[in-house]
Copies of this chain bind each other. A is one copy, B any other.
Amino acid sequence: MNLPIKKRTTKQTPNMANKGMGLEEMVNQTNSYYLLHEIAVIHKKPIPVQIVKVDYPSRNKAVIKEAYYKTPSTTDYNGLYKGLYIDFDCKECNSLTSFPIKNVHVHQIEHLSAIKRHHGIAFLLIYFIKYNEYFVMPIEEFLPYYEVSLNNGSKSIPYQDIKEKSFIIKEGYNPRLDYLKGIDEYLKKNQ
């Protein structure tokens, strides 16, 4: 089988998982495009950090000298599209056959479920690296698999199921990854 394996540069950040970097960069570029072209206002949230010590070498410059990563309580991305609240997280998947449910943290599942209950649009943006395929998977399609995994069932979602329950997104030039097309399809289907 001749798979379109895409070469990706890996950054030398010691002990830091590089997962999601490529996808996140594409999403960030796409969000800038959306903002500039008045399509949507979607931003990545900053990494939450607990600041312990700050130095002030000069009046205007504060240098953080000691800080720690905190566990986020939400997802990485949220914003506004066509008057609708949008919320999602990016996930890269290295497998050819399935998406491991443990890739999605409990706080992310809880947050996306809350968004859905409050009538927002909540989803996962899943990248199957080996197929070079991108999927918008609504949280309500993900949750039944999560329930099964909690009840000692399968701990992953088969690739074929992801394909059936999600909206596929094509990679482009500008915008790099027009994932709101997936949201348009989702809205058409759900209205």
Identify the A interface with B (CB < 8 A). Answer: 14-16, 35, 38, 40-41, 43, 45-49, 51, 54, 56, 59, 61-70, 72-74, 78-85, 87, 111, 114-115, 117-120
Contacts and interface: CB of A to CB of B under 8 A. Distances in A.
B62 A65 contact: no
Contacts of A63: 66-68
B119 A80 contact: yes
Contact of A83 (B51, B81, B85): B85
B43 A46 contact: no
A48 to B, nearest CB: 4
A65 B66 contact: yes
Contacts of A120: 41, 80, 83, 85
10 contacts: A16-B62, A40-B118, A47-B49, A49-B67, A62-B69, A78-B78, A80-B87, A82-B118, A83-B119, A85-B120
